[in-house]
A = this chain, B = another copy of it.
Amino acid sequence: MDPDAVAKAFVEHYYTTFDSNRAGLANLYQESSMLTFEGQNTQGCQSIVAKLTSLPFQQCQHAITTVDCQPSGPAGGMIVFVSGNLQLTGEQHALKFSQMFHLMPTPQGSFYVLNDIFRLNYA
């Protein structure tokens, strides 16, 4: 499978789910998954989803600017590096962000997020 196509499909799925059904992100993480969100560490699917659903905004829209990907090693993992804009409803200006995902294959032929690091890019 073409890694770029996999990365692009994952990114589209991730941010669409985030923007329309944030709790649905739970299917993308497992117990070993790690999220570092603006420097705060969280581990495990439940805790990660709790963190993401508790962010201080109801509605948001991600607009992706760049997606880079590389295979991460013999285990079949993939690193995906994203930059884009995050528009919060009611805010005049979009926030800029960078995010890194380390995807690992599942036995069913799909991917889950083992590592996730998110940072806002302040001007």
Contacts and interface: CB of A to CB of B under 8 A. Distances in A.
Kindly report how many copies of this chain are found in the complex they form together. Answer: 2
Interface of A is mostly: strand
Interface residues of A, number: 26
A87 interface: no
Given A72-B102, A73-B104, A83 B34 contact: no
A66 to B, nearest CB: 6
A66 B119 contact: yes
Contact of A121 (B75, B77, B83): B83
Interface of A: 34, 36, 39, 41, 66, 68, 70-73, 75, 77, 79, 81, 83, 96, 98, 100, 102, 104, 114-115, 117, 119, 121, 123
